[in-house]
Each structure stands twice: as structure tokens, then as C-alpha cells.
Amino acid sequence: MIEQGQTLPAVTLSQLTDEGMQTLTNTELFSGKKVVLFAVPGAFTPTCSNAHLPEFITLSDKIKAKGIAAIYCVSVNDAFVMKAWGESQNAQEIDMLADGDASFTKALGLDKDTGGFGGTRSTRYAMIIDDNVVSGLFVEKEKEFTVSRAEAVLEKL
């Protein structure tokens, strides 16, 4: 598993924007700036839709006021699903990233197998990334939702 102080491996992520499909490496996304990234097991799932994403939306101004250039949400879903989920949640403040083949999630060692329920998914976590280096990592234990919450991350900034 990736650890605090390590540089993120270069992996491609997708984002569907009004300009069309964007395919960027995390190096392109995160280099030269300080960002917050949080990962959810799946778009449109209960905890993700009712708490995790909404809390980051609500606290985005306070998080960005701490010197954060952008807030990213990533999930092992396709870019079309991530865009639709972001729109359904009115998440203009959050960049919705798709890790369709779980390559980013696997490269971080933060993948989990949910079997027939959904296959390979991401563990729930949040991280602070400073110039593509992990400066804070907050990985949830199974069935918990405490350390990756927006409020918890805000306290670490």
C-alpha cells in the first residue's frame, strides 16, 4: 500500500467534461499543486452518495481556503457514471475522476475484491497530495467511515 511521503505512481485516469473525454495521468493532474483526493467504493452507493461526496461539497470552500488547489473524487467506475453522479449531487466544486479498470487503485494497493457485488473496487480513503507526493493518507477500516470524512481531512490541513 502507498504510504505517506511516497510519490504517486503514474497511472491514467479519465474525466468526462463538457469538452469531452479527458485522459490524464495523475502526474499531469497533481504536479505542482496541493490537492485533496478521496476515493469511494462506488458512485451512487449509500454512504458515498449520502455522506462522503456531500460533505466534501459542503466543505469545499473551507478546504480550498487552506491552500488546496482542487478536490478530486475517484472511483472504480467509468467516466460517464462519474459525470452523472457528480451532476446528480450538484458537485461542481469536485473533479470527478474515473478509474475504470482500477489501475490507479491497484497501483496504490488500495483495491478490494467485493466479489459478485461489484468486483474490484477501491477502499474508502482520502489523501492530501503535494506536488504528486502523498503528504497525508487516511484509509478507512472495513465498514468504517471516520478518517476519510471531509471534516477529518480539513482538520489535517
Of 16, 36, 48, 76, catalytic: 48
Cβ-count burial 23-57 (b if 16+ within 10 Å, e if not): eebbeebbeeebbbbbbbbbbebeebbeebbebbb
Q: How far apart are CA 121 and CA 115, in angstroms?
A: 10
Going by C-alpha positions, the residue among 82, 12, 76, 72 that lies closest to residue 36 is: 72
Strands 125-130 and 34-40: antiparallel
Residue 48 bears catalytic tag: yes
Going by C-alpha positions, the residue among 96, 122, 105, 145 that lies closest to residue 2 is: 105
Active site residue ranges: 48
